[in-house]
Amino acid sequence: MFRSLLLSMLLIPTLAAELVGWKLVWSDEFNAKFIDSNKWSPCERGTSDWNDTMTSDPRCFKISGGTLRLIGIVNPDKEKDPSPFLTGGITSQGKFEFTHGKVEIRARFKSAKGAWPALWMLGSKGGWPRNGEIDLMEHLNDDDKVYQTVHSAHTMSPAGKEGPPKSTTAPVDREAFNTYGTEWDAEKIVFTLNGKPTMTYPKVPEKGMDQWPFDQPFYFIFSMQIGGEWVGEADPKDYPAHMEIDWVRVYQKAG
């Protein structure tokens, strides 16, 4: 499923419209027959809540009709792999990373008990949470809302309770495509939903790098996790489920 494409397919697509004051610097419209391995790698299995069911099994990835589906399925062979579920995820780590800009990702998901689709970014330097995390969208179960959150050493410490607020929720039509995004610069992170701001997380200089590790390159992770401490137990009868991504676009200030 992961395959390098011809050079012509690596050029930034012309159908991604420019925005006033912004220049498109990177995108994927998922219009090819294969996931572009020059841009993405499959997420590896780990021990964290978000990746303990990850797999490179091709049944968990489908690209067609101009969208990418990351799929969660019931594991049919637990003798080969003890995980009760298998899930797909992709990351741009080591292939595309950027510092500051505007991000928009158009996506939708099939809700299910225990499903946890997420569109997010991690800082490339240092271990978590000191490297920083920007969660553009996380959805749980059958909720009619999504979470948008930042994580850092500050937000994960007792001092983080003093603010600034690190997270918000926003209502969504969970059956429809929505555009999740951020405008991120050296002073603030503004989360957006369908082009409208939902929350601003500001830099607080006196709190130091623990509060603001966001002046370094970040990379994308798109994950379709099933089950975990936060989302709760999954119901096998609800699966397969998926997250469908239409496109991802990254802009930086023009001029």
The structural domains of the chain, with segments of one domain joined by +, span 18-253
Q: Is 138 a catalytic residue?
A: yes
CATH architecture of 18-253: Sandwich (2.60)
Q: Do 51 and 89 contact (CB within 8 A), yes or no?
A: yes
Stated as kind and residue range, the H or E segment containing 83 is none
Within 13 Å of residue 63, how many CA atoms lie on the same side as its CB? Answer: 18
Q: What is the side-by-side order of every strand in the sheet holding 145-151?
A: 41-42, 89-91, 218-226, 115-123, 133-138, 145-151, 167-171
Q: What six digits make up the tokens of 184? A: 């991120």
Which residue in 29, 97, 104, 138 is the catalytic one? 138
Q: What is the pLDDT along the chain (255 residues), one digit of tens a residue?
A: 665 444 334 444 444 556 888 999 999 999 999 999 999 999 999 999 999 999 999 999 999 999 999 999 999 999 999 999 999 999 999 999 999 999 999 999 999 999 999 999 999 999 999 999 999 999 999 999 999 999 999 999 999 999 999 999 999 998 899 999 999 999 999 999 999 999 999 999 999 999 999 999 999 999 999 999 999 999 999 999 999 999 999 999 987
Question: 46, 52 in Cβ contact below 8 A?
Answer: yes
Q: Which residue in the list 133, 187, 206, 229 is annotated as catalytic?
A: 133
One-letter amino acid identity for 231? V
Q: What pLDDT was estimated at residue 1? A: 62
Position 255 scores a pLDDT of 74
pTM of the predicted model, to two decimals?
0.93
To the query of whether residue 133 is one of the catalytic residues in this protein, the response is yes
The pairs formed by 166-172 with CB atoms below 8 angstroms and a separation of 24 or more are: 166/201, 167/199, 168/198, 168/199, 169/145, 170/145, 170/146, 170/198, 171/144, 171/145, 172/139, 172/144, 172/145, 172/146
